[in-house]
Amino acid sequence: MTDLRSASRRRLLVAAAAGALAAPMARAQALPDLGGRKVLAVTENAFPPLNMLDPKTGKGVGWEYDCFNEIAHRLHLSVEWHLSSWDAMIESVRNGQFDVGMDGIGIDDKRKSQVDFSAPYMHSQMLMMVRGDEARFRDPATFRADPKLLAGAQPGTSGFYATARELLGVASTSPRIKLFDTFGASMQALRAGDVDVVLSDPTGAAATLARSPRLFKILGDPLPGEDYGFILRKGSPLKAPIDAALASMARDGTLTQLDKRWLPELPGPRGGQPRAVPR
């Protein structure tokens, strides 16, 4: 069984930030001062605990909010937050409507052809979320073998592609994948019995199980996942400073503190807090 504490949420010590550009900054213990430049940041507020709406304050909160606000503080940036649906987010950053986007966005070659990514700030594997009484299948092979079983996913997300590739063994889509506008909507469909499995990264899984420990459970071993990064338009001058700030936050323990604040522990034998980088 893969240890989610060390493997599923391993913090990456940002290769790009540890390279030729960031190394001199690290030695000097200094970061660029961007002079109060305004940055338009966009997220979805539908992927807890990375980004979500605080019902008490009506404001966006989460791991990514705190991380990027700290980056802005260190670089002397002024952040203006905006919201977008997932399906429009990458294009809106690509065309310059926003400067930076975040929503647990997996780094892959297709997306890298459209936008630039920051250095990774998390690595995430995918977990099979099922109802608490599920006994018809135990892993991708047994799920795939029963054509009556359905999966829920949000189109265009890492979970969608992993559902096709890892769970069903198809190139892109399948009638067995039912599409939903948000991760939360797919979990509601799972609860109602409209679908039989939803793939989630450990952050979403842990948050769901913390709220509804009897309704859902994790089934089987983790499936391969992806690194997460902030997205920026191609050639953005913000990439190198953001990478340097992320590296400084890994060195001084800030990213660890964000994990402790926002990432709930997975219950049961997988236990422990899902982590994001090797320290």
Q: Which residues of 65-215 form beta strands (DSSP E)? A: 77-83, 100-101, 116-117, 122-131, 151-153, 177-179, 197-200
Tokens of 233: 């338009």
State how far the Cα of 69 lies from the Cα of 46, in Å rounded to an integer.
18
Domain 4-123+227-270, CATH: 3.40.190.10
Report which of 260, 246, 21 is spatially closest to residue 117, judged by C-alpha positions.
Answer: 246
State how far the Cα of 54 lies from the Cα of 48, in Å rounded to an integer.
10
The pLDDT of residue 279 is above 90: no
Domain spans in the chain, listed from the N-terminal domain onward: 4-123+227-270, 124-225
pLDDT per residue over 28-50, tens digit each?
A: 458 999 999 999 999 999 988 89
Q: Give pTM, 2 decimals.
A: 0.73
State how far the Cα of 185 lies from the Cα of 136, in Å rounded to an integer.
23
State how far the Cα of 269 lies from the Cα of 263, in Å rounded to an integer.
17
Do the first three CATH levels of 4-123+227-270 and 124-225 match, i.e. the same topology? yes
Tokens of 177: 């994948």
Tokens of 168: 């069903």
Q: Distances in Å between the alpha carbon of 241 and those of 21, 52, 68, 80, 253?
A: 9, 26, 12, 18, 18
pLDDT per residue over 115-143, tens digit each?
A: 999 999 998 889 999 999 999 999 999 99
pLDDT per residue over 155-209, tens digit each?
A: 988 889 999 999 999 988 899 999 999 999 999 999 999 999 999 988 888 888 9
Q: Assign domain 124-225 to its CATH superfamily.
A: Periplasmic binding protein-like II (3.40.190.10)
